Amino acid sequence: LQKNPLTYEGGGAELSDGTRVQLLANIGNAADAEKAAAAHADGVGLFRTEFLFLDREDEPTLEEQTAAYRDVFAHFPGKKVVVRTIDAGADKPLPFLTDADEPNPALGVRAYRTSWEKPQVLAHQLDAIAAAAEQTEATPWVMAPMISTLEDTEDFVGLCRQRGLEPAGIMVETPSSAITADRLLQVADFASIGTNDLTQYTMAADRQLGSLAHLNDPWQPAVLSLVQATARGARTAGGDPESFGEKAARPVGVCGEAAGDPALAVVLVGLGVNSLSMTPRSLPAVAKVLSSISLEQAKELAAAAVAAPTASAAKQAVRAGLPILE
Ligand code: PEP
Ligand code: MG
């Protein structure tokens, strides 16, 4: 047991120069939302909605879905709740949505792509989110997983706008969306980088295979370069390419596991990420490390990490600059 357990009182992380970074929670249902609120998360950065439906043979009714979203939103009145539309595929099958017979499930018709053949499931989900938003005081930020082209972005954002759902965003989980973020974010209002999938697709390494864990490492310089490209694209798309942090015109968050690693959180902020979403138990350690550095220092450490030759060199360079981790 730790003698002096870290605490987090909410309000985001404050860097030593006063720069603020939103600290949000990853959740899958209302019970998680309750825990996240108790842990003082500033809101929800990733609500994985498919977990509500994994044991279902049939699509849940509009009423059932509305109630499920409302129960989550109720824990965050007046706060941001980033709702991800269903992310199902062969690894997370949903009988009413996915095809189990794909040779390469990670590269298949998964996540947003399932709506190409079955648009009604996404349409119903967006209707239910809009209805739940009307019944509570939360502001849902809706986003779709596995967006890889401008056409995907335009179609998804269009569906959200038709229902008055704003802001409408995209997950950046593929190299294609990171590289073209400047264009995608002229259409989408925000981006959330899913570093778990972005890493698997950048390194061409199945995230479920333990034997590839050394490749599935968000410290890989190639992955960090794509985070940098996304944040740069967001600044270019939204206006002032030099603005950082809260001033960035298009908010960019990270909601993969990387956001909950304190040293990596510093790098992400230094690359221009505005919010970090993680499992609530990681909030105190991330807030503490961020409070020990300035934005300038974070930018310097991020530049060193991106320029490092290997993942371990990147890690070493950053840890050497963060004495608070010793
Ligand atoms: C990710 O890919 O980083 C992410 C947050 O989504 P998931 O882990 O649910 O695929
Ligand atoms: Mg993902």
Band (pLDDT 50/70/90 cuts) for residue 248 is low
Using the mean position of ligand 2's atoms as its centre, give its distance from the Cα of residue 2 in Å: 33
Please report the atom of ligand 1 found closest to the CA of residue 46: 5
Query: CA-to-CA distance for 20 and 104, rounded, in angstroms?
Result: 41
Residues in the annotated binding site for phosphoenolpyruvate: 48, 84, 196-197, 207
pLDDT of 2 over the 80 cut: no
Please report the atom of ligand 1 found closest to the CA of residue 195: 3
Q: Which of 255, 268, 269, 295 is catalytic?
A: 255
Using alpha carbons, list the distances in angstroms from residue 295 to 15, 120, 155, 254.
Answer: 7, 44, 36, 17
Query: CA-to-CA distance for 268 and 66, rounded, in angstroms?
Result: 34
- Calculate what percentage of the chain has a pLDDT beyond 90: 86
**Which DSSP string do the residues of 225-287 spell out, in sequence order?**
HHHHHHHHHHHHHHS-TT--GGG-SS-EEE-SGGGGSHHHHHHHHHTT--EEEE-GGGHHHHH
- Strand boundaries in 55-133, DSSP class E: 80-84
Is the pTM higher than 0.90? The answer reads yes
Q: What confidence tens digit (pLDDT) does each residue in 118-142 have?
A: 999 999 999 999 999 999 988 899 9
Q: β-strand 20-27 against 13-14: which pairing, if any?
A: antiparallel
Q: Which residue is closest in CA terms to ligand 1's atom 8?
A: 196
Using the mean position of ligand 1's atoms as its centre, give its distance from the Cα of residue 92 in Å: 12
* Ligand 1 site residues, Cβ closer than 6 angstroms: 46, 48, 87, 173, 194-197, 255-256
Band (pLDDT 50/70/90 cuts) for residue 288 is very high
Band (pLDDT 50/70/90 cuts) for residue 242 is low
Protein residues with C-beta less than 5 angstroms from the ion ligand 2: 173, 194, 197
Band (pLDDT 50/70/90 cuts) for residue 105 is confident
- Calculate what percentage of the chain has a pLDDT beyond 70: 95
In this prediction, the answer to ipTM > 0.95 reads: yes
Query: CA-to-CA distance for 313 and 266, rounded, in angstroms?
Result: 16
167 upstream amide cis, omega within 30 of 0: yes
Please tell me the predicted confidence (pLDDT) of residue 196. 97
Is 160 one of the annotated active-site residues of the chain? no
